[in-house]
Amino acid sequence: MSVKECGNHGKYRRKIFRRIIAGILIFILIVLITILLIWAILRPSKPRFILQDTTVYAFNASTPNLLTSNFQVTLSSRNPNDRIGIYYDRLDVYATYQNQQITLRTAIPPTYQGHKEINVWSPFVNGNSVPIAPEYSASLGSDQSAGSVFLMIKIDGRVRWKVGTFISGRYHLYVRCPAFITFGSKSNGVSVGENAIKYQFVTRCSVSV
């Protein structure tokens, strides 16, 4: 084979290779555009969370700068989408007072939520002798003596969206549910056992994704 024929053969192979690469890139581009169009048309809505009730088993702030607490919270989540499912890969529930975490995080098992479905969870969140900043400890003691404490039940998690066979990447989920706990003569809770008070809320939570 002459040098000229070898050169032509090499050019032909490079031309075929470039065509294959271009075909693959065009295919990937078409797939991405299709996914984006489906995503834009369906417009996924974030889930809706409601804090239904909170049962207080322990809430002791008598020791300065320390808090012992034990709650059971009932939370419901609704998927408002008609054609989009939601994977809850991670959901951690905990309570805060004036933005300071006062309980450990409780993990809710991963789950899938179909179209228009509602999930209900009732996890326990608690903390034993949790250190509280001095200024918050004084404020908490004053609030409890006055008969009411404003807490925030929070959920931090990761979610994925499912559209047909397509599953998105993971997104951060932030849920914030206000809980107004009353004590003593101002208590509007219902006794559900020894040293346990249940507070009915049905409070809509703020949700960010």
**Residue ranges covered by each domain of the chain:** 1-41, 46-206
Q: pLDDT per residue over 28-77, tens digit each?
A: 888 787 767 666 655 689 999 999 999 999 998 888 899 999 999 999 99
For residue 2, pLDDT beyond 70: no
- The architecture (CATH level 2) of 46-206 comes to Sandwich (2.60)
**pLDDT tens per residue, range 86-125:** 999 999 999 999 999 999 999 999 999 999 999 999 999 9
Q: Are 63 and 128 in contact (CB under 8 A)?
A: no
Task: Give me the long-range contacts of 43-47 (CB less than 8 A, separation at least 24).
Answer: 44/81, 44/84, 44/161, 44/163, 45/80, 45/81, 46/207, 46/208, 46/209, 47/77, 47/78, 47/79, 47/80, 47/86, 47/113, 47/159, 47/173, 47/207
Q: What is the value of pTM for the model shown?
A: 0.79
Contact at 8 Å (CB) between 125 and 106?
Answer: yes
